[in-house]
Structure 1
């Protein structure tokens, strides 16, 4: 009989209690300062990163190989036969390959390491869908075959106060790094089908950027899609956007919107403060 384990990483932004209750192992990325190192969202919280970011911009590294090996040893000891790992986009990180390398040392476990080609709410949504399908009694093969379709149903759009941190962290993707300084142009950044960031649109100023995100959200809600709003040290603007969209949904009785949480500390390292994002799911 199949027994399927789930593993992901800390950029999926899963609620810790939810993960514990659903037997999902979260591998923490590392946040590295000159004189100290932290496990993402365990030893350090996002606000601590933002509070320190003007003093020192930390770097990041993958979850340790020991953490990954410990997870697979646990799966073996607990009688699991299959493993589904959902990871941060390979366009942004090498975590997918690291898990694949470790899984090769556990041939007794049939393992799929799935590239979410996403981050935060997008990655986390896929993990939750895997859990739901396991609970419904779907087979390993059925779940694995369904994952690409789930991935293709997700779109992520976000804005940041400045591209400085994406540039320094090497996460700029296809977003033009020179945008904005003189003309105050703000890119609306999307996660592409290749899992890399690209400029979806450009507007002038933060206010217009938030307005454009609002327009994209309304377009999606009119189409009956689900919407999640999250932030990275942009709580005030994200809360305001949520309240506006919730009111719109109530009046028009179309689509659903929810206020998700904040991005992980390690994601905050690379985005910097002021991120506002929407995750759109086409059910």
Structure 2
């Protein structure tokens, strides 16, 4: 193994360790039970407060999915699928067959179990793997979908090349991600949800990502800065929790149970980063030429 490969493997181990949690399914079921849900008859919507951990949660997933033109014959790959929230929503709403790929084995285990609980295990499957070396054949998918997943991936070109490779000609790439702020002289404040420090955080600016994607061979259909909407969503989520004092107030309490007691501080730091233009949130739809 080369020095570069060893470094990449070490980084992957650190990223996996950052996200790894034991008994994720049981934590979720316990919190849902406390909030009054029947854990033996769960729906995709019941899971939404804790299985869509990106900014704007289900709102972000639903609004972006509506722009893509999904239907039951689409083969969708969710890169960085986490515990499966977006993939289950897409499969449930549009009838698509969805494959989720995630680096963290515990995420894949929990995602599979939750899919079975909401009776979607015939339409979604999950695989543990590296997004820069995907275990899929060329032109395997009609849509590649990714939400808040590239922040921990250093080699963005390799990531985008793999996304290009597994897409059919004319296929769509859907991105909803966190980027560095426009001014590189104002670095992010840590810790944040995806990293305790910058050792596993690899952020690029929106304009650099767009340039790289076009260079690889994607045509841009849509690109929208969602920073202001993300800031407002975080503020509203925190406000609802403060008012209700329960997990129903935007999902913050349940997220705290999954991520850990530091979650309120992490989300506060994220909001500050966004407000001070240290970070940005954007979404895009691109097409493989």
TM-based fold match above 0.5: no
The structure carrying a bigger strand percent of its residues is: 1
What TM-score do you get using the length of structure 2 for normalisation? 0.30
